[in-house]
């Protein structure tokens, strides 16, 4: 039986989490900044403590056992609860400390309308003792993380709302339709193209609910290839086989290099409203609320934008 959890148990679980997420002991060595032999010893100690085999490692590669996967899932919940407890104690003392998990949808850094860097600078002055953990993730992963508490604040394109989350408008992004240099439409006259005639061409779109998916469904564009971030959509467009929507600021570099071209941008475009997102209940830690206010301040919005 496991018995009481100790600080050492939490340390071993943190090591296990890194090993699972890095995909092996050697990769976790760099993440944890300890030797592989020490990582291996910690893993053996944890398996002994739990009475379970957590992973298989050998010539076939690294893989979690079914028991290991369950322990990993429970580890995420436990470590999130511990961090939440620490944040609550900080709240009681009216101080901001610990870690703040911030997740952003990809390819926002090059958007001139996005002032996330300025918000981080404001926040670091207000909460110098908080350790910022920045993540880039897909919209569904950010929403799930907010609800389960593993992410404290997210920045995503608005696409649907949940009663469990609180949203605030930040900035906009323009999405244009692009073709690659090897596509038949590249360099051609696009003046005769319509939304109807566009359906004759293969389309690459995001594989989850998003403004991209809403637009493609509404326009009945034939999605023949699926990506799960902007980088993968760009790669599919560069193949010359697919059309796809990308943020104009991100695609600009490809256009300058002659690798990509916007297709009739005055007609084939849509705009995304980016929002900050917090969990409604339980109440987010003070650090998350402070960061949300810094985002509003950096983007020239007021607290009344929260909804």
Dist. CA 72–CA 21, nearest whole Å: 9
154 within 8 A of 277, measured Cβ to Cβ: yes
> How many residues in total does the chain contain?
307
Q: Which residues contact 304 (CB under 8 A, 6 or more apart)?
A: none
Choose the most confident range, by mean pLDDT, from 5-14, 95-104, 148-157, 169-178: 169-178
Dist. CA 136–CA 104, nearest whole Å: 5
Output the pTM of the full model.
0.75
For 8-55, write each residue's pLDDT tens digit.
889 999 999 999 988 888 888 877 888 889 999 999 999 999 999 999
**For 108, what's the count of Cα atoms within 13 Å in the CB-facing half-sphere?**
26
Q: List, in order of start, the domains of the chain with CATH numbers.
A: 7-80 (1.10.10.10), 98-307 (3.40.190.290)
Dist. CA 131–CA 184, nearest whole Å: 49
Q: Are strands 203-206 and 269-279 parallel, antiparallel or unpaired?
A: unpaired
73 within 8 A of 133, measured Cβ to Cβ: no
Q: Which residues contact 175 (CB under 8 A, 6 or more apart)?
A: 211, 212, 215, 245, 246, 247, 248, 269, 270, 271, 272
pLDDT of residue 94: 63
pLDDT of residue 304: 44
For 213-232, write each residue's pLDDT tens digit.
999 999 999 899 999 999 99
Closest listed residue to residue 197, CA positions, set 219, 171, 172, 166: 219
For 52-97, write each residue's pLDDT tens digit.
999 987 777 889 999 999 999 999 888 888 877 777 777 666 666 6
In this prediction, residues 272-283 reach a mean pLDDT of 93
Q: What is the largest CA-CA distance in the chain?
A: 73
Q: Any idea what DSSP says for residue 96? A: -
**For 202, what's the count of Cα atoms within 13 Å in the CB-facing half-sphere?**
14
In this prediction, residues 243-268 reach a mean pLDDT of 97
The CA dihedral of 80, 81, 83, 89, to the nearest 10 degrees, is: 160
Dist. CA 285–CA 279, nearest whole Å: 10
Q: Where are the alpha helices (DSSP H) in the chain?
A: 7-22, 25-32, 36-50, 66-92, 116-126, 139-148, 195-198, 211-218, 230-238, 248-256, 286-298
pLDDT bin (cut points 50, 70, 90) of residue 256 is very high
b/e 241-254 (16+ beta carbons within 10 angstroms → b): bbbbbbbbbbbeeb
pLDDT of residue 302: 47
């Amino acid at each position: 039986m496991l018995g009481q959890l100790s600080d050492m148990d939490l340390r071993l679980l943190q090591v296990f989490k890194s090993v699972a997420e890095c995909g092996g002991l050697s990769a976790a060595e760099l993440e944890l900044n300890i030797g592989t032999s020490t990582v291996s010893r910690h893993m053996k100690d944890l398996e002994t403590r739990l009475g379970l085999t957590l992973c298989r490692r050998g010539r076939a590669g690294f893989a979690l056992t079914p028991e290991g996967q369950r322990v990993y899932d429970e580890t995420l919940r436990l470590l999130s609860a511990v961090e939440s407890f620490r944040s609550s104690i900080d709240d009681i003392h009216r101080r901001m400390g610990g870690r703040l998990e911030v997740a952003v949808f990809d390819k926002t850094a090059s958007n001139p309308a996005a002032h996330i860097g300025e918000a981080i600078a404001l926040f670091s002055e207000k909460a110098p003792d908080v350790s910022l953990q920045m993540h880039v993730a897909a919209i569904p992963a950010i929403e799930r993380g907010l609800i389960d508490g593993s992410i404290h604040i997210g920045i995503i394109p608005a696409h649907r709302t949940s009663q469990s989350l609180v949203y605030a408008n930040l900035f906009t992004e323009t999405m244009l339709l692009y073709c690659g240099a090897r596509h038949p439409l590249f360099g051609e006259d696009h003046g005769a193209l319509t939304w109807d005639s566009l359906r004759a061409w293969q389309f690459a779109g995001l594989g989850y609910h998003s403004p991209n998916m809403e637009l493609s469904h509404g326009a009945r564009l034939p999605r023949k290839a699926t990506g799960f971030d902007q980088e993968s959509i760009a790669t599919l467009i560069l193949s010359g086989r697919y059309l796809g929507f990308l943020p104009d600021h991100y695609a600009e570099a490809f256009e300058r290099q002659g690798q990509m071209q916007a297709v009739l941008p005055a007609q084939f475009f849509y705009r995304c409203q980016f929002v900050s997102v917090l969990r409604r209940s339980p109440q987010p830690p003070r650090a998350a609320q402070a960061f949300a206010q810094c985002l509003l301040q950096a983007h020239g919005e007021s607290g009344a934008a929260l909804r």
